[in-house]
């Protein structure tokens, strides 16, 4: 039993993420999970464009206020599409991010 103690301590110290039903839509994910869908290169592209692009600044500001991201939201779809239109994301990557 002693050998399991560190594992149990680790498991109990992890944050609990609830994937409770957030309404009818099951395509909602935590913000951190959404951010992890972007590659390092894509995040660098977003950061680079942030200084000069008001639309990207507004999108990032909007995301900061969210805990849960609705992948079917018109706003999220529009913002990811905007990143593709600016060649920060490819069309394929935009689709993958919104899956």
User: Which residues of the chain fall short of a pLDDT of 50?
Assistant: 1-2, 4-8, 10-11, 14, 16-22
Residue with tokens 């969210």: 66
- Residue 93's domain spans which residues? 28-97
Contact 71, 63 (CB under 8 A): no
User: Given this model, what pLDDT does residue 80 score?
Assistant: 98
Q: Total structural domains in the chain?
A: 1
- Assigned domain for 2 exists: no
- Assigned domain for 1 exists: no
Q: For residues 79 and 54, give the distance between their C-alpha atoms in angstroms, rounded to a whole number.
A: 12
What values do phi and psi take at 68, rounded to 5?
Answer: -125, 135
- Assigned domain for 5 exists: no
């Amino acid at each position: 039993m002693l050998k399991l103690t560190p594992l149990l301590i680790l498991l109990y110290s992890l944050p609990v993420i609830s994937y409770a039903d957030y309404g009818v839509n099951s395509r909602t994910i935590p913000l951190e999970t959404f951010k992890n869908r972007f590659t390092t290169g894509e995040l660098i592209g977003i950061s680079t464009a942030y200084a000069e692009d008001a639309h990207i600044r507004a999108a990032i500001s909007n995301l900061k206020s969210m805990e849960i991201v609705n992948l079917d939201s018109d706003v999220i779809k529009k913002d990811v599409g905007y990143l593709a239109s600016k060649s920060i994301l490819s069309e394929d990557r935009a689709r993958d991010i919104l899956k």
